[in-house]
Every structure is written in structure tokens, then in C-alpha cells.
Structure 1
Amino acid sequence: MRNIKITAVFTAILFIFALIPASVPASAAFTPDVELYSSAYYMVNLDLGTVIAAKNENEKCYPASITKLMTAIVAYENCADLSMPMEVTYDCTNEFWEGDPNKDGAGTAGIAVGQTDLTMKDCLYGLLIKSGCECGNIIGYNLCKNKGGIPAFIEMMNKKAKEIGCKNTHFGNTHGLWQEDNYSTPYDLYLIARYIYDKLPEIVEITNTYEYIMPANKYNPSPYGIYNVNSLINNVGDNPYYYEFASGLKTGSMGEYYTKDSNGEWTVYHKGFANIVSTASQNGFNYMLVTCGAPYTDEEGNRLNGHFKDSIALYKWAFRTFDIREVMNENTFVANVKVDMGENADVAILKPAAAFSTLLPKDLDPSVIQQKITITAEKNDNDAVVAPIEKGQVMGTLELELDGDTLWTTNLVASQSIALSQFEYTMRMINSIFDKWWFRLCVAALAVLIIADVVLNTVQKARIAKMEARRARKANIRGQW
């Protein structure tokens, strides 16, 4: 009988690690518990980049003088020396007197045509703190004097807006006086202001300046002061809108504006509005806020200043409501997963790959934060991950949600290593061989051979016995004769 040698071939087990970031912070906007005049707003914690309040942030709005922030960006980044002398021509002021009611009598910084002692620095201060409309045109004219003039500068403004990431913004002028093609959104205005906040501290400083002395001209025989129109930062006199924690950046208001009727005449009247983008800091917390669409006047026609009121209300709400809170750390138990063929372990404990702290309401119950767990590690038919497992191995993802908004996404990792049980592995391989069809076929064939051999041997022995009995009878007969 031949000896049959069976050789078992074992394959290596491969683990695929998920190729996602270890942690991805996101935002969850909250609803302020204050009444507001503005139709849209967007508020961000600058320390974490967390959006804490938003309404209609992607809706079209007219930025008014907030347009001047983009004018300042393009001017600052394309002027090597702020002492650059500026030429003031009629081209810079003509549009304010050409019959468009939206531009007639525009607010200015008192600059005179033909003035020769004006610098880029003067124009930036006049543009941003006095909101002088002529300053925007003077800047555009001088920087693009030989390259297409003010229209070419406006093209640069639109190009820069796209570079910053604005997708719903178009500028039609340098100053923000009403034009159909001069529009943005609260979110895009935030992107513009955030760009200045992060990259152009000199511009931030200008917007936070209360007073600046302009050079004399024919309208002002002596150097004269211009003053910031942002009431949030003006601690002068009896100003009810001064907010000690506020700083920069820019207001943008229109008392009223007109659009053309079917005959092309400027007869269609629209009520005015007030916008502002600002920042505020208190107790180590820093916020940026954009508010848009507050009515310019109340029902009696009195100046409402709703944009200032809303800004103060939202800042106070944020400072009293939010704090940095730890949601979980690297030792927080999140989930477990069954382990197959583990050495002394049948469960792997999963923990977050990183700690997570974020800005949350001080009185928020952490249990309302929902956990969305996804196991990405490959499982077998027993819904288990096959050992070995290394400590820190990515096993899945964790997403934290609050009121339907994603707060954070991170990897889930194994908290400890789990070795492969060699005994269980060997037994599993042996059992797997027994389950193979070809093995069962061989066993069946062998059984048939054994049974056939037994039957043949039995038949053979019976034949031999029968033959021997026959010979014995013949021998007895011969002996009798």
C-alpha cells in the first residue's frame, strides 16, 4: 500500500490601511438666541475656523463699500512703495456727477482734482476709514494708468476674488456704489476679509485706525483729519454703538438706490441697507462676522444702524455662549470589532486616532453629539477581522455629528496588538482541507477502493476454500479405492 503525502500551502494575510486623513475638523452652525435686523450673516471663530452662526450666507447681496476691501488688496499687493505719488484727474471723479442717482454726491475723503501731494498711503486711509469713493478710482487709475485705466484695475479685482476662492462675486467698480454687476455673498465677503486678516496685517491696521491726517488741498488749506465711519470702534462722544472688543474691518451701506424702468430711466426706488464685516476679541476668543441686509432706516425713516446693533448682539451671544470643550481624546473607547484567530483575544477595542476639542456651547450635553462609526477593515464570513492586528492599525472611521452637521471626522485605530494564534490557524487550515471537494472525492474513492479490496479478498478466500474442499473430497475418494 502506497503512502500518500499531502503538502499544505499557506497564504499570507494582507491588511489594507485606509488612505484618509487622521482627523478632519468641520463646523456646526448654531442659531443665535437674539433678534436680528440683518437678512444674512456669517460668523466664524478665527482660532479654530469654526462656523458658529450662518444665515443665507450664499445668497446674493450688494456689498456697497465693503467692495473697498478688494480695492485695498489689489492696491497693496501691486504697489511696491506706499509713498507712491498719485495723480488726481477728472477721470477719477466724473462718474460721481454724470446723472446716475446711485453715484451722485458719493461720499469722499475730500481729495481735490489736480492735487499733487497725495500718496498711495493717503488713498488707502481715505478709502478704508473715511470710505472715500474717489480714493478707489484714484488708486485704480494710477496703478493701471498705462494698462487700461480703472476698467483694467477692476478686472484685477475680479481675478483676485477668484484666486481667494470667491465663487459668487463680481465687482463692477472700485468703490461699491450701486451697480447691478457689483455683487457678492456674505460667505465670499468673509473670504475676502479673512484673506486680509491672515495675510495683510497692514491693511487690518488701517481699518482699525480712528483718525488719519490728509494733506492740504484747495478744499482744505491745512492738513485735515478724516475719521473712521465704523461706529463699532469709535470711542468718541456718546456713541451707543461703540463695542470695546471690536476691531476693523469695513462698513458698507446705502441709504437708498435706484434701478432703471422699462424706458431706461432711473425711477425705480429701493430702500437702503447696511452691511458690515468686523472682528472682535475677548478672553482669548477671536471672531469674524459679516452681516448683510439690515434696513437702513426704521418705519419712521430714522437711521436704524441695524448692522451695528446686530454685530454687538452676535458678539455678546458668542462670548457668553461658547467655550473650547474636549469631546474625546486618544484613550476614549469608541467601538470594538470581533477578531478571528486572535491569540488570547476575540475582540479589538477601537479608539480615535487623535484627540478632539472644539468650540461648543458651555451648557451643551455631550450625549447629543452623535457618533457615526464605519468599519473599513476587511472582515471574513463570521463578521470578524482576522488576526494579526497591529496597535494603531486603521480599522475604520468615526464621524461626529451635531444637529445634522459634521463636527469632526477621524480614523478609528486598534488600541493594542493582537497576534495570530498559530494553533487556531493550523486547525483552521486542516479543517479547510477537509471541506475541499477534491479531498472528499479522494476519501470517497479511497473508501470505494477499500471496500472493493475487502470484497475481492472475501471472494478470493471463498474460492480458495471451495477449491481446497473439492481437492479434499477427491483425495478421500481415491483412498477408498
Structure 2
Amino acid sequence: MEKGEIFMRKRIAVAILVVLFLPFLNVGVAAAQLDIEARSAILMDAASGKILFEKNAHEKWYPASMTKIMTLTLALEAVEEGKVSLQDMVIASEHASSYGGSQVWLEPGEEFTLEKMLIGIAVGSANDCSVAVAEYIAGSEEAFVEMMNQRARELGAQNTHFANSHGLHDENHYTTAYDMAQIARHALTLPKLRELAAMKSYQFRGDPKPLVLWNYNKLLWWYPGADGIKTGYTSKARYNLTATAERDGLRLIAVVMGVDKRNGHFAEAMKLFNYGFARYGFKKFYEAGELVTSLPVSKGSQDTLDLLAKDKIGVIMPKGKDEGLNLKLEVPSMVNAPVAEGQQVGEAVIMQENKELARFPLVAAQAVERATFWRQTGKVFSQVLTIGDKR
């Protein structure tokens, strides 16, 4: 190894250590002093989409393999919609098997479960798996790319255009730091995607030619709380990273694009996370799916209905400025049957000094059918007897 290369690696290692332990030093870094060495960058609150820091966030640039976040998203949405199953067998076409770069060396006609192909994409950044999955979901990679662009527009990624499912360089294949953060916000709502993106390694093949995939996202090892999501690199795009980390209920998304230094995308993302976690906290009221309140039911098969938080109820706040926060419930005094499971019945509103900060839907925990004639008659008779006893 050249002396110059050894020296450069030592400098990068020292820089990473400094960034990692910066929050524990008694120093402050103002937003204006946050020097991010990237072509573009953004730091976003995953829950609300609030932007905490940005640098050229709407400038178009090449995403490289961060593209695969959308590929994974579309595949897992198809699973959730029941269109495909994780246990479906995906057969590699000659077209899919022809791709180089990061790969698992699929042979034409070789088959694996959809789940294993998705692991190959999330952990090994496999281009051949990306194309195989695209063809399986949409019939052709071209049709899948149309789906990618349509979904991007639906998610608010207005300055994004995909030309393929893997991210290998194409001048007409671009996005922005803001758009990638928006796509990642949605992707992180898919539990299976979070599971795959957090995997550090996976044995894709056994003997006689074992293949162990190692996640390219080194923040999974280097940064406490980091658990996703995808790196990207080409000689044109340079080093890119869309990352997420959670601490004390606060989940942040950091995107850096066009970083020149090797491993620099990890160092710059850590700077962003340190900035965010040092200055902001998350005030939680209820977890997603937690019981918030119960309401009486009129003319129903049961007398009460439980209301659950559809999503985690809470708000990001600058540290030390969360005084006066309270939760107001906007719900009816009584619910009329029938009610469908998951139906929105009311809202929880986070307030601070009479100012509304955020709203969250409250949904029915279970379905309530309309009461039968005999049940309603029985309730009336019971109420009459109760009145008589009081007399």
C-alpha cells in the first residue's frame, strides 16, 4: 500500500472519529457553521418532513444505487397489496444476468424467492437482482421504470426522473437531495424495507461457491441509532448516501450527494445527524396502535369503541422549548354504528400556547356492526327496569 494512501485513510478515520464524538464535546455548531462537504445535502425529520438543514437540496444530481430505494419500495408495496408474495420464485432473465457492477452473479434461468432477491438489492446493492425484480413485478424493466417515475411524482419528488431500476449512470437518470429524502420518508413506513435496510450481512449462496453480502452502509456499524437506508456510487455521481437514524423517538433522514472523498459520505451524514440530535428532541404522546380513548356507541353490537393512534403521535421540538405542549382530542360525544375497523373517527391535535402544531388521525380499533332488533329491544327493556328500580 502506498504511503500516501495510508496517510489519507488515517485522515479519514480521524475525521470520522471527530464527527462521531462531536455531540459529547462542549461545543456548539450553528447552522451557518455546519460545513457539509457535498454537492447537495438535506436533513429532515422523518415524521413531519420538517427540514432542519439543507444545501442545494433541489439541485439535480445522479442518485446511483440510491435508486434502489424506489425499486424496493415498489416491490414491497406490491407485496402489501397482495399482487405478489415474498415467497414467489423470481427467475433471472438473460437481460438481468448481464448486468455488472454490484451483483450476485445471477445465471440466466436461475431462480430465488422474491424475498431473497430483495435482500440482494438492499444488502448487496445487486444490479442483476434489481432488474430481475423489476421484470417480475412489471413484466419488463421499461414498464417498471414508468411505475418508478409515477410513484416519485405521487410522493412529491418533482425533480426526479428514473431511467433504470438500478442506478447505473445515465444522463437522464437524476434526482435531488430533497426528493430522495421524500422517497425515503415513505419507504421507511414499510416495515419489511426497514428490516432489509438494517441487515449488516447475509449469506446469499452456500457451498460450493459461498457468497456473503455485506451492507455498503457503514453507518450501521459506525453510528449509534443508524438503521438504513442506501448508499450509491458511480464515477460520475461520486459518493451518495441516504441514511436514517433514530434516538429517543426522534427519527432523522440525512441525504448527501456528490461527495468526492471515499467514505466522505458517511462522515458528512454523521455531521448532519449530530447537528439534528444535538438541537432537537421528540415529544411523544402515543405510539402507533396505542389506545388513546374510548367512546360510547349508539345502536351498535357493542356499547363502546376504542380509538387508536393510527401513527405515532408526537412532534419534533428544539431542545428546551417544549414547555406548554398539550394534546387535545377532537372526537364526537358518541359514535353511530356501523363502524369499520380502521375507520377514522377523530383527531388528536398537539397544541402549544393555543397554537396548533400537528394533527393525527384516531381510528377504530375494531369493527362495530349495527345492533340487531333484539339487542336494541333488550337494551330498552333493561333501561326501563333500571329506572323502575331507582323509583
TM-score, length-normalised on structure 1? 0.51
1:131 maps onto 2:121 in alignment: no
Match for residue 204 of structure 2 among 211, 214, 219: 214
1:41 maps onto 2:27 in alignment: no
From the superposition, tell whether residues 324 and 73 of structure 1 become closer, same or farther in structure 2 (CA, over 3 Å).
Answer: closer
1:175 maps onto 2:166 in alignment: yes
Question: Helix, strand or coil for the counterpart of 1:155?
Answer: helix
Give the unaligned 5+ runs of structure 1.
1-29, 97-104, 235-241, 258-271, 298-303, 326-355, 367-397, 401-406, 410-481
**CA shift digits 1:224-257 (9 cap, x unpaired):** 32111101003xxxxxxx1122110111112x14
In structure 2, the residue matched to 1:282 is: 247
In structure 1, the residue matched to 2:134 is: 140
* Partner Cα separation in structure 2 for residue 212 and residue 361 of structure 1: 39
Question: Helix, strand or coil for the counterpart of 1:58?
Answer: coil
Contact 2:97 2:107 in 1 (8 A): no
- How many pairs are equivalent? 266
Q: Which has the larger radius of gyration?
A: 1
Match for residue 166 of structure 1 among 151, 154, 157: 157
Deviation at 1:399, TM superposition (A): 12
Contact 2:45 2:316 in 1 (8 A): no
Deviation at 1:108, TM superposition (A): 0.8
Deviation at 1:223, TM superposition (A): 5.1
1:56-75 residue pairs with structure 2 within 5 A? 56-75=56-75
In structure 1, the residue matched to 2:263 is: 305
* Partner Cα separation in structure 2 for residue 231 and residue 204 of structure 1: 16
1:84 maps onto 2:80 in alignment: no
Deviation at 1:47, TM superposition (A): 4.5
In structure 2, the residue matched to 1:227 is: 214
Deviation at 1:408, TM superposition (A): 6.9
Deviation at 1:164, TM superposition (A): 1.6
1:185 maps onto 2:176 in alignment: yes
In structure 2, the residue matched to 1:322 is: 280
In structure 2, the residue matched to 1:251 is: 231
1:80-479 residue pairs with structure 2 within 5 A? 80-94=84-98, 96=99, 105-116=100-111, 118-145=112-139, 149-198=140-189, 200-216=190-206, 221-222=208-209, 224-234=211-221, 242-254=222-234, 256-257=235-236, 272-295=237-260, 297=261, 304-323=262-281, 359-360=317-318
**CA shift digits 1:86-125 (9 cap, x unpaired):** 111211133x4xxxxxxxx411123333323x11111101
**CA shift digits 1:381-437 (9 cap, x unpaired):** xxxxxxxxxxxxxxxxx999xxxxxx979xxxxxxxxxxxxxxxxxxxxxxxxxxxx
Question: Helix, strand or coil for the counterpart of 1:316?
Answer: helix
* Partner Cα separation in structure 2 for residue 41 and residue 205 of structure 1: 25
* 1:72 partner letter: L
* 2:158 partner letter: K
**CA shift digits 1:352-378 (9 cap, x unpaired):** xxxx9852265x9x9xxxxxxxxxxxx
Root mean square deviation of aligned Cα: 2.9
From the superposition, tell whether residues 317 and 32 of structure 1 become closer, same or farther in structure 2 (CA, over 3 Å).
Answer: farther
* 1:106 partner letter: G
Question: Helix, strand or coil for the counterpart of 2:104?
Answer: coil
**CA shift digits 1:9-68 (9 cap, x unpaired):** xxxxxxxxxxxxxxxxxxxxx726333211211111234443211111111011110100
In structure 2, the residue matched to 1:461 is: none
**CA shift digits 1:305-352 (9 cap, x unpaired):** 111001111211222233469xxxxxxxxxxxxxxxxxxxxxxxxxxx
**CA shift digits 1:249-273 (9 cap, x unpaired):** 111112x14xxxxxxxxxxxxxx51
Moved over 4 A (4+): none
Question: Helix, strand or coil for the counterpart of 1:280?
Answer: strand
Contact 1:85 1:120 in 2 (8 A): yes
Contact 2:65 2:232 in 1 (8 A): yes
* 2:224 partner letter: E
In structure 2, the residue matched to 1:31 is: 31
* Partner Cα separation in structure 2 for residue 32 and residue 359 of structure 1: 19
* Partner Cα separation in structure 2 for residue 32 and residue 84 of structure 1: 51
Contact 1:39 1:292 in 2 (8 A): yes
* Partner Cα separation in structure 2 for residue 113 and residue 49 of structure 1: 42
* Partner Cα separation in structure 2 for residue 281 and residue 251 of structure 1: 18
Contact 1:214 1:226 in 2 (8 A): yes
Contact 1:109 1:127 in 2 (8 A): no
Question: Helix, strand or coil for the counterpart of 2:118?
Answer: helix
Question: Helix, strand or coil for the counterpart of 1:111?
Answer: coil
Question: Helix, strand or coil for the counterpart of 2:132?
Answer: helix
From the superposition, tell whether residues 151 and 248 of structure 1 become closer, same or farther in structure 2 (CA, over 3 Å).
Answer: same
* Partner Cα separation in structure 1 for residue 185 and residue 211 of structure 2: 31
TM-score, length-normalised on structure 2? 0.62
In structure 1, the residue matched to 2:21 is: none
* Partner Cα separation in structure 1 for residue 127 and residue 315 of structure 2: 44
**CA shift digits 1:121-177 (9 cap, x unpaired):** 1110101111011111111122233xxx11111111111111222111111001001
Contact 2:38 2:259 in 1 (8 A): yes
* 1:107 partner letter: S
Contact 1:161 1:169 in 2 (8 A): yes
Give the unaligned 5+ runs of structure 2.
1-29, 284-313, 324-352, 359-391
